[in-house]
Structure 1
Amino acid sequence: MHPNDLRTDAERRLWKAFPDGDRVDIGTADPTAEGFDPDEYDPDQRVRAEVISALLLRGRGGDGGGVTRLSLRGARITGRLDLNGGEIAAEIIFRRCWFDEPIDVENAHVRRLSVSACRIPGLDANRIRTDGPLGLTSCRIGEVRLAGAHVGGNLDLGGTVILAPQDRPALSAAGMVVDLNMFCENGFTTSGEVKLAGARVHGQISFNGATIRNPGGGAVSGQRIAVDQDMFFRDGFTAEGGIRLQGAQIAGTADFTGAELSNPGKRAVTCEGAPSL
């Protein structure tokens, strides 16, 4: 892509800022607000996903004095952001952005990915590798896929609302590895199952204050999960559906203090074969 191909003021600002890692702040809209209309974005507040992928996958050299980073706030991103399989040296930061289509970072290698207060139809991140943290905080999003992912820091989903399609899991993270902690708290809410079977978390997992709704099915499926510290379901944690921890290896404790669990006609917590529970 050439600078002459850029169509909006937002695209030109992002193109200019990227080599030195400067933040580009396009607007103050809150796309997570109930009833928000993306047509409120002016044409010059829009960025085509192909412009972002061109910068991240092909890059533009700077003067060597800045941090390699793409930081974008307050924009509407049109088209599908496809970074599948990419080797991405830059940090990726999105704040208060509206995405018309899901983000695809499957099989990608990313330094750091941070998405906050954004509205996204879904995140396809199976087998992603990050050198640092992966944050998806205070977002409203469709299905999130992290199966086989390797997160090189904390995985933070705090405050995010995942509204999965009917009969689909909200978070699919079977076989995922997290080098530090996993946080699903501060209002984390799902309308579907959280699948963590066979995952490995080298720190703690916290669902404190979270709400997970999957009536008649699994709320949290953590069969054979390995957690090197504690697993918390406290402080008003609410689950509609079963908590399945068969064969789990939790080095600390699984703490349900103050939790509200509902799974009519079935066991609320199943933990056969979990020696630490």
Structure 2
Amino acid sequence: MMINDLTPAERRVWEAFPRGASVDFRTADDEDAASGGGWGPERTVRAAVLRALLLGGPEEEREIAALKLTGARITGLLDLNSATVDAAVRLSHCHFEEPPRLYGAQLRRLNLRGSALPGMDAGALQIDGVLRMTDCRVRGPVGLGGVRIARALFLDGAEFTTENPAEPVLRLNQAEIGGDLWAPGMRAHGTVRLTGASVAGMVDVRGAELTGPAGPALDAPNLTVDSDVLARELCALGRLELRGSRITGRLDLMGARLSNPGDTALRASSSVIGELWLLRGDRVDGALNLRRARIDTLLLEPEVLPDEVQLSDLSYTALIPHEPAGRRLPMLERNGGVYQPYVYEQLTAAYRRIGDDDAARLVQLAKQRRRRATLPWYGRLWGRVQDVTVGYGFRPLRAAVWLLSLLAVGSVAYGLDHPAPLKADEAPDFNPVFYTLDLLLPVIDFGQERAYAPDGWHQGLAYGLVVAGWILATAIIAGVTRTVSRQ
């Protein structure tokens, strides 16, 4: 391109490029680039001029060339597909009339801060420094699949929309980011896709608003993050999909609003997470799926859990904050009515690690009661007997209460009306307490039962006490055996 073909605005940009000087066409610092379609020729630059500069622009000795343009209306197609650009590129607060094409390009760094774009195709883009799209307004899909960014990606305050609700507004699938993915306050009306992406630093989406009108709000299966995912105060209308992800630090959803009515609000199944923080926010509106996940520390408040919580094969080391067992047990029942013994064992282990044996026993008791509902009628009957008598071995004092109650009934009844002796001259003196104990305790013999022969109502009461004694003894043995086997 000849310099004689340039407009006055383009000439300013052309002459500034070899020295890396900035050209700012703005008339006010608070201009909105989204309204830049009406900017006149005094601040209009053709994309072809920018392409010519970046691929073979003038150079000056002892100067570092760079494209630093602010507040321009860029017309035409900026096509840098597969290009190698050595100069830094800053096109901030600019209005693009056509989506830039950067597929397979290699850049030092790219800064689009505050710009308005109708979309962008930058798949397989390689950047040696950072890609900055802070405060950008994008009205079409942004394709960044397979990008390689040596340092950080900045999307803070950016807004992504598209006319096709079924099309992802931002694609970062298989992206490799050598630093942080920085996106607090980002707004996306459409799916943000990070399938298989890898982030060496942290992912920060605090206060972001993600809406998936026709799909997930965030589609990030197999995401790898070597630090934290900070999502405090996040508003996600649609599923958060983190299936199979690996998050070394914490997934912080403190104060987040997760809503996907009638479907899954958060799926982190088969994931490995250092810490999951889900507290101090609205109640999750939709199912919570943590099946087969491995989480070191689980911070869950019972108030935020939804009606459906899928925890099968979930393993965790610590459960915080410490809550009574009665507040934790309901989440184990919210799995569509399916009995899963493993979830009870995990909760029991969490209580035992912090020395709360009473809570651990309550969880085990709840497990046995839940298991009872899956048994045939005779199993349910025997389970109820064990529950009533000794609480499946977790309430041993119940046995003493039953024993003392039956002992009192028998002692009073036989004390008021003694049964007749078998041999009056050989029988020991009748003692209603020890006679009742002889009937109740099948393995102890005080000599009273053998010496007296009850009849009538005496005999019926004796039979009842013998049967009750055997049932009580069997339930105690079963409960003790179960407790010992667990220890």
* Structure 1: gaps (5+ residues): none
What is residue 146 of structure 1 aligned with on the other side? 144
Measured after TM superposition, the shift of residue 68 of structure 1 is 2.3
The answer on 1:2 being equivalent to 2:2 is: yes
Contact 1:70/1:91 (CA < 8 Å) preserved in 2? Answer: yes
CA distance in 2, matches of 1:243, 1:172: 15
What is residue 384 of structure 2 aligned with on the other side? none
Contact 1:191/1:212 (CA < 8 Å) preserved in 2? Answer: yes
Q: Which has the higher contact order (CA 8 A, sep 6+)?
A: 1
The answer on 1:271 being equivalent to 2:268 is: yes
Give, as a single letter, the amino acid of the residue that structure 1 aligns with 2:181: M
What is residue 78 of structure 1 aligned with on the other side? 75
Contact 1:143/1:165 (CA < 8 Å) preserved in 2? Answer: no
Deviation string 1:153-183 (CA, Å, 9 cap, x unpaired) is 1100011100122221011111000000001
Give, as a single letter, the amino acid of the residue that structure 1 aligns with 2:146: G
Deviation string 1:114-152 (CA, Å, 9 cap, x unpaired) is 011111101111000000000001111121111000011
CA distance in 2, matches of 1:136, 1:270: 28
Measured after TM superposition, the shift of residue 216 of structure 1 is 5.0
CA distance in 1, matches of 2:272, 2:32: 45
> TM-score when scaled to structure 2?
0.54
DSSP 3-state at the match of 2:212 = strand
What is residue 175 of structure 1 aligned with on the other side? 174
DSSP 3-state at the match of 1:169 = coil
What is residue 411 of structure 2 aligned with on the other side? none
Measured after TM superposition, the shift of residue 59 of structure 1 is 2.3
Using a 3 Å threshold, how does the CA distance of structure 1 residues 115 and 37 change in structure 2: closer, same or farther?
closer
The answer on 1:106 being equivalent to 2:103 is: yes
Measured after TM superposition, the shift of residue 28 of structure 1 is 2.7
Q: CA RMSD in A?
A: 1.2
The answer on 1:136 being equivalent to 2:107 is: no
The answer on 1:252 being equivalent to 2:249 is: yes
CA distance in 1, matches of 2:141, 2:215: 17
Contact 1:241/1:263 (CA < 8 Å) preserved in 2? Answer: yes
Contact 2:26/2:70 (CA < 8 Å) preserved in 1? Answer: yes
Measured after TM superposition, the shift of residue 243 of structure 1 is 0.5
Give, as a single letter, the amino acid of the residue that structure 2 aligns with 1:125: A
Structure having the higher Rg: 2
Using a 3 Å threshold, how does the CA distance of structure 1 residues 27 and 275 change in structure 2: closer, same or farther?
closer
State the number of aligned residues.
270
Q: 1:100-249 residue pairs with structure 2 within 5 A? A: 100-141=97-138, 142-166=140-164, 167-185=166-184, 187-234=185-232, 236-249=233-246
DSSP 3-state at the match of 1:103 = coil
Of 135-144 and 212-221, more deviation after overlay is shown by 212-221
Measured after TM superposition, the shift of residue 255 of structure 1 is 0.9
Deviation string 1:75-106 (CA, Å, 9 cap, x unpaired) is 11100111111000010001211111111111
* Structure 2: gaps (5+ residues): 274-294, 296-487
Give, as a single letter, the amino acid of the residue that structure 2 aligns with 1:90: A
> TM-score when scaled to structure 1?
0.94
Normalized per residue, which structure has more strand? 1
Deviating 4+ runs (over 6 angstroms): none
CA distance in 1, matches of 2:99, 2:173: 20
CA distance in 2, matches of 1:189, 1:83: 27
Deviation string 1:191-211 (CA, Å, 9 cap, x unpaired) is 100100100000000110000
